Amino acid sequence: MAYSFYPGCSMEATGKAYGVSFEAINKALGLEAKDIPDWNCCGATVVANVIGDFPQQAITARNLALAEKNGAGDILVGCSSCFMNLAWVNERFKTEPEFAQKCNEALSAAGLQYNGTLRVRHLLDVLVNDIGLDEIKARTIKPLEGLKVACYSGCQTVRGVRRPDFDDVERPKVLGQIVEAMGATAVPFTHAARCCGGSQQFTNVNMIYDLTGDVLEAAHQAGADVIVTPCPMCHMNCDAYQKKINQVKGRNYDMPVFFITQLMGVAFDLKVKELGFEHNIVSPQKILKRFGL
Partner 1 sequence: MCAFKYNPAASREVYNLESGKYAQQCMQCGLCAVTCPARHLMDYTPRQLFKMLFAGEVDKVLKANTPWLCTSCCLCTVRCPRGIPIIDVMHSLKHYHFEKGTKAPVATLSKVFFDSMMKRGRVFELGMTNAYYMKSGFGAIKDAMKMQDVGMAMMKAKRLPLAPPKKVKGLGDVKKIYDKAVALAKEGH
For 113-173, where are the E strands, in sequence order? 120-122, 148-151
* Largest Cα span, the chain: 57
What gap in Å lies between CA 231 and CA 234, rounded to an integer? 5
For the chain, where are the E strands, in sequence order? 3-6, 33-35, 75-77, 120-122, 148-151, 185-186, 226-229, 257-259
Task: List, in sequence order, every residue forming a beta bridge with 280; answer none if it has no partner.
Answer: none
Q: Which is nearer to partner 1, 210 or 269 (CB)?
A: 210
| Binds partner 1 by CB under 8 A, chosen from 70, 177, 190, 200 | 200
| Binds partner 1 by CB under 8 A, chosen from 95, 108, 115, 129 | 108
Binding residues for partner 1 restricted to 161-180, rule: CB under 8 A: 162-163, 169-170
Cβ-based burial of 266 (10 A; exposed 0-12, middle 13-18, buried ≥19):
buried
Binding of partner 1 at residue 92 (CB under 8 A)?
no
Contact criterion met (CB below 8 Å) for 43 and 58: no
Binding of partner 1 at residue 230 (CB under 8 A)?
no
The count of other CB atoms within 10 Å of the CB of residue 31 is 21
Binding of partner 1 at residue 6 (CB under 8 A)?
no
| Binds partner 1 by CB under 8 A, chosen from 96, 97, 171, 243 | 243
**Options 5-13, 122-130, 134-142, 260-268: segment touching partner 1 (CB under 8 A):** 5-13
**Options 44-52, 140-148, 171-179, 217-225: segment touching partner 1 (CB under 8 A):** 44-52
The terminus-to-terminus CA distance of the chain in angstroms comes to: 31
Sheet holding 120-122, edge to edge: 33-35, 3-6, 75-77, 120-122
Binding of partner 1 at residue 159 (CB under 8 A)?
yes
| Binds partner 1 by CB under 8 A, chosen from 69, 119, 220, 244 | 244
> Least distance from C-beta 167 to partner 1, angstroms?
12
From residue 46 to residue 85, the character string flagging contacts with partner 1 as x (rule: CB under 8 A) and all else as - is xxxxxxxxxx-xxx-xx---------------------x-
Q: Which is nearer to partner 1, 51 or 138 (CB)?
A: 51
Binding of partner 1 at residue 219 (CB under 8 A)?
no
Running DSSP on this structure, what letter comes out for residue 163?
A: S
Binding of partner 1 at residue 197 (CB under 8 A)?
yes
Binding of partner 1 at residue 155 (CB under 8 A)?
yes
Binding of partner 1 at residue 13 (CB under 8 A)?
yes
